[in-house]
Amino acid sequence: MLNPAVAITDAREAVGPQPVGIAVVGLGYWGPNLLRVLGDNLDAEVRWICDLDTERLGKYRRRHPEARVTTRIARVLADPAVDAVIIATPVHTHYHLADQALRAGKHVFVEKPLAPSTELADDLAALATQRGRILMCGHTFLYSPPVRAVKRMIEAGTLGDIFFISSSRVNLGLHQRDVSVIWDLGPHDFSILVYWLSELPTAMRAVGRDSIVKGIADVAFVTMSFASGIVVNVELSWLAPSKLRRTVLVGSERMVIYDDGAPEPVRLFDRGVVYRDPETFGEYHLSYRSGDVISPRIDTYEPLSLELGDFVSAIRTGEQMRFHTAVARSVVRMVEAADRSLREGGREVSLEDDGIVHQLTSRRELAAI
């Protein structure tokens, strides 16, 4: 006679491992996108949807009838069927919700930024390590095909020594009520920079103003200095006539433009300046090189789908995603330094890497994906 326990085990092995139980907390601007992508992931199952707005809960309950809904995070965290919590709530709630979820034994994916301060970001990272849980922050641009294409160019030495980087991330709105434009838009560019360069800036300055809402800066110009000699300028604004997401990298051998959303998002320029040391006083030789402009083929896939797929896969395999945690901590350090400089009239603020740079350089293989 067949042992019932063996029969149950055999049945489970026949259908494969059970899906990872997911709870999505927050149905505002980004939460619905997370729900949509998770619905297409066969390794994940949305078991709870949580939001304070009952009207939103009703709307998405109809779209995801298999999920339970609630306005109380405690109900989500008390359910043993929930393996991971995805947090897409306002910035000021990220730390407290992530802290509660980690203490409840859940893996955590939290939208950017990870926390409202360096100290709290480090606390979350330490807690995740202590509890053996994955802590990942939603820096989706790390999964962007154009961003990864530029990373491969940098790693291959295609650009030569990078001299400087200039970036603009501007649009008309959306004004945030609780954070400055640096906290809102800055994490995008800052995460891309630490991913590309595998280092933190040594110092940052920021100037800007609160043009519309008193006390909340809606435009900022952030400059950074790196130990490698690279200088960076980032323009951030909610107050621009059109949407622009454009970054220029200038190297000793070539230059590249990354234009997010353009038909040709990456263009490589074989252009530069050649300087010859003068042999006599007053002799000064510069020659300008103007070669081909190449638009490399860029893979097409949805970054958010790959990002959440990595999160779910890490839960299955036990990968701790330390590189992603290091990026998230680095971004909070940079945002906090830039915001402090802005509030103090553009004073230079120094940064300490606290061992993060080692973690940033330990996962260069991401560039090959």
Q: Is 147 a member of any domain?
A: yes
Residues 114 and 91 in one domain: yes
One-letter amino acid for residue 362 of the chain: S
Residues 151 and 136 in one domain: no
pLDDT value at residue 303: 95
Residues 77 and 94 in one domain: yes
* β pairing state of 107-111 and 44-50: unpaired
What are the residues whose beta carbons fall under 8 Å from the beta carbon of 249, sequence distance 6 or more?
A: 150, 154, 159, 162, 165, 196, 255, 256, 257, 258
Q: How far is CA 74 from CA 85, 99, 289, in A?
A: 12, 13, 63
pLDDT value at residue 280: 55
Question: Which one, of 237, 162, 166, lies nearest residue 199 by Cα?
Answer: 162
The radius of gyration of the chain from alpha carbons, rounded to an integer in Å, stands at: 23
- Please report how many Cα atoms fall inside a 13 Å half-sphere around the Cα of residue 120, on the Cβ side: 16
Q: Which of 124, 141, 158 is at the close of a domain?
A: 141
Residues 23 and 92 in one domain: yes
CB of 23 within 8 A of CB of 82? yes
- Count CB-CB contacts under 10 A for residue 310: 19
The strand ranges marked E within the chain are 20-25, 44-50, 68-70, 84-87, 107-111, 135-138, 162-170, 203-209, 219-225, 231-237, 244-251, 255-259, 266-276, 285-294, 349-350
pLDDT value at residue 274: 67
Alpha carbon distance, N-terminus to C-terminus of the chain: 50
* Helical H segments across 78-217, by residue range: 94-103, 118-131, 145-156, 181-197
Q: Is 319 a member of any domain?
A: no
Residues 132 and 159 in one domain: no
Please give the residue range of the domain that contains residue 33.
4-141
* pLDDT tens, residue order, the chain (369 aa): 444 444 434 433 444 578 999 999 999 989 999 999 998 998 999 999 999 999 999 888 888 889 999 999 999 999 999 999 999 998 889 999 999 999 999 999 999 999 999 999 999 999 999 999 999 999 999 999 999 999 999 999 999 999 999 999 999 977 787 789 999 999 999 999 999 999 999 999 999 999 999 999 999 999 999 999 999 999 999 999 999 999 999 999 999 999 998 999 999 999 877 666 666 555 566 666 677 888 999 988 899 999 999 999 999 998 888 889 999 999 999 999 999 999 999 999 999 766 666 666 655 445 444
CATH code of the domain covering residue 55: 3.40.50.720
Q: How far is CA 144 from CA 59, 264, 306, in A?
A: 30, 14, 9
Question: Which one, of 9, 6, 7, 34, lies nearest residue 22 by Cα?
Answer: 34
Residues 159 and 124 in one domain: no
> Which H or E run includes 37?
helix 31-39
- The Cα 155–Cα 4 span in angstroms is 56
Q: Which of 141, 162, 177 is at the close of a domain?
A: 141
- The Cα 152–Cα 143 span in angstroms is 13
Q: Provide the b/e sequence for 2-18 (b: ≥16 CB within 10 Å).
A: eeeeeeeeeeeeeeeee
Q: What is the largest CA-CA distance in the chain?
A: 100
CATH code of the domain covering residue 223: 3.30.360.10
Place of tokens 């990968």: 319
Q: Is 109 a member of any domain?
A: yes
Cis peptide before 19 (omega within 30 of 0): no
Residues 135 and 245 in one domain: no
What pTM does this model have?
0.88
Residues 224 and 173 in one domain: yes
Residues 29 and 154 in one domain: no
CB of 292 within 8 A of CB of 270? yes
Helix, strand, or coil (residue 65): coil
- Count CB-CB contacts under 10 A for residue 81: 11
Residues 128 and 250 in one domain: no
CA 58 to chain centre: 30
pLDDT value at residue 275: 64
The DSSP code for 140 is G
Number of domains into which the chain is organized: 2
SS3 content of the chain, % helix, strand, coil (to 5): 40, 25, 35
Q: Which of 141, 165, 180 is at the close of a domain?
A: 141
